[in-house]
Amino acid sequence: MLMDAADLAMVLLVAFVGAGLILAVLKPKQKQVAMAPKDPSGIEACVAVFLFQGKSLVDATGGAVALLDHRADHMSDYDAVLHALEARFPTLGSTLDDPTTTATRLRSKEGPEVFIDIKRDDTQLRLSLYTAEKTVMQLWVQAADDARTSLMHDVAAHTTQLIWQTDKVGKLRWANRAYCEFAAPQDPYQTPLFVMPSNLDTQGEHRLSITNPQTEVTQWFDVRTVAHADGFLHFANDANALVRVDQQRQSFVQTLGKTFAQLSIGLAIFDRDRQLVMFNPAMLEMTQLPIDFLTAKPSIDTVLDRLRERRMMPEPKNYGSWREQFSAVETAAKNGTYSENWALPDGQTYRVTGRPHPDGAFAFLFEDISAEVSLTRRFRSDIETGQAVLDTLPDAIAVFSAAGTLVTTNRAYGALWSTNAELMLEYRELQSEMSIWQDRCIPSPIWSEMRNFVQQVGARKPWCEDAMLDDGRHLKCYATPIAGGMTMVRFAIAPQMRPVIRKLTLPDAAIRAGKR
């Protein structure tokens, strides 16, 4: 059976109603956002609405958010709202602090067209501001301007920085408290404290000196100038400490320069970029490098290469590794481990030392040790000659210092007392040597006398006594004082005695027994 039009309409109506009920049930609930209420008079108004839970802002309208965007960073939402509105509603703070306030309306002190509705329900607070949009922004901007003006006034009043304003011709138009106190007792508007030099740019930073009118002491300031309106703003910071440090640094550099100029040691300092930044006259004289070359701040590679060209460096064995040697020299200097003697072809010898400096800089010290090397060689030659002379003598010779330390011996000494030549390089004393002598000789009281002679302080006369070796040879012992309190001990062996004489000189056991 076909449905008529009325039945079909009824079915469609039931279907639409059922679908609407299902969508109403399934649709998620949306967050309740603070809505702008209507003016009690029924006319729609632009309002700012704030919802607080305690003093925490939980919701706000767009106009309210626009007000909060202009707040100071350190302010909370609650304090920012009070700060913005209390200029027009002086009793807002006290009204909100009153716990009995649940619903009230505050009108602006400037007119009834601007008012706030306050509603409190338990811990929830709702503030609704009724006004025109333009008035809302003017309200906040005026409050913010007032706050900034007050802050700037306090900053200018309490800062120790000198701040002043001048017109385009340099006439003082305004000055802060620090400027006026510094200029006292003079009137800064009549007698300017700072006069900008005409040869300097109008804007920028300048270091200027003035005489303090109170102490008559010259003081330095770093003055920054910026254009403002139809004139300029100037900010002066105390630069006395910086000037003193700079003067001390310059004085120190000058002192170093004078000291370096008097040094006989050549000095070359390279910065962290490997460029020569300082050298002294001794460096110029020793290396024979042109002064225009050194003042051009050459790199360490260029300096070493030029020294090689002038034969002021020892020639390398392998020219292929010459550049690697430069790098090794630089690295060792930075580590403070480079110290080499450069033997030059002309016979001169330089001791070159590398020293690290702060911030990656390093220095080379050039010391001419040609005389020292020559003296050392001559001294070594004299020692070798003297030792060779001693070794040719047939007598055993030992030299002791004033403290009783063995200084030197000859070959005959080692042969007589069976002493290893290598042991002579060790530290040995009179007592240890005398023990060897006593072990190899027949007991005799002369050893204590010799010990006393070697250790005696003051003027001494040569000493001589006889001793007998354990093999029967006669030994002549001499002790002679020499320079520096030292003593030369000499042992001379007498010729071999004939058997009969030797027998007569030997101890007789029968005679000893009879004496008992």
pLDDT (tens, 9 = 90+) of the chain, 516 residues, equals 444 544 444 444 434 434 343 333 333 333 333 444 444 444 446 578 999 998 888 988 877 777 777 666 677 888 888 887 887 888 888 888 888 888 998 888 777 778 889 999 888 999 888 876 556 556 666 666 666 777 777 787 788 888 888 888 778 888 888 888 888 877 777 777 777 766 555 667 888 888 876 777 888 888 888 887 778 888 988 888 888 888 887 777 777 767 777 778 888 888 888 888 888 888 888 888 888 898 888 988 888 888 888 888 776 655 556 556 666 777 777 776 777 888 888 888 888 888 887 777 888 888 888 888 888 888 888 888 888 998 899 999 999 998 889 988 999 998 898 876 555 556 788 998 999 999 999 998 899 999 999 988 888 899 999 999 888 889 999 999 998 889 999 999 876 655 555 555 556 555 555 545
The verdict on 103 and 196 lying in the same domain is no
For residue 210, give its domain range: 159-242
The verdict on 355 and 435 lying in the same domain is no
The verdict on 442 and 405 lying in the same domain is yes
Which of 368, 385, 412 represents a domain boundary (last residue)?
Answer: 368
Which helix H or strand E contains 70, and what residues bound it? none
The verdict on 499 and 398 lying in the same domain is yes
266: exposed, middle or buried (C-beta count within 10 Å: 0-12, 13-18, 19+)?
Answer: buried
Helix/strand/coil for 459 = coil
d(CA 253, CA 65): 61
The verdict on 455 and 481 lying in the same domain is yes
Question: What is this structure's pTM?
Answer: 0.41
Residue 384 resides in a domain: no
Residue 293 resides in a domain: yes
Residue type, 128: S
The verdict on 350 and 406 lying in the same domain is no
d(CA 329, CA 203): 50
Which of 154, 173, 195 represents a domain boundary (last residue)?
Answer: 154
Residue 515 resides in a domain: no
- Whether the CB-CB separation of 285 and 312 falls below 8 Å is answered with no
Residue 238 resides in a domain: yes
CB-side exposure of 397: number of CA atoms within 13 Å?
Answer: 18
Predicted local distance difference test score (pLDDT) of residue 36:
44
Tokens at 43, concatenated:
């006319």
The verdict on 285 and 363 lying in the same domain is yes
- Which residues touch 130 (CB under 8 Å, ≥6 apart)? 39, 45, 47, 114, 115, 116, 117
The verdict on 496 and 397 lying in the same domain is yes
Dihedral angle, C-alpha 322, 326, 332, 338, nearest 10 °: 80
CB-side exposure of 472: number of CA atoms within 13 Å?
Answer: 12
- The DSSP result for 129-192, as a single string, is EEE-HHHHHHHHHHHHHHHHHHHHHHHHHH-SSEEEEEETT--EEEE-HHHHHHHTTS-TTTS-
The verdict on 131 and 184 lying in the same domain is no
Which of 122, 154, 186 represents a domain boundary (last residue)?
Answer: 154
Residue 312 resides in a domain: yes
Total of domains in the chain: 4
Residue 447 resides in a domain: yes
Residue 387 resides in a domain: no
Cis previous bond, 298, omega within 30: no
Predicted local distance difference test score (pLDDT) of residue 400:
93
The verdict on 349 and 418 lying in the same domain is no
The verdict on 268 and 344 lying in the same domain is yes
- What is the domain-level CATH number for residue 301? 3.30.450.20
Residue 80 resides in a domain: yes
The verdict on 51 and 149 lying in the same domain is yes
d(CA 496, CA 221): 102
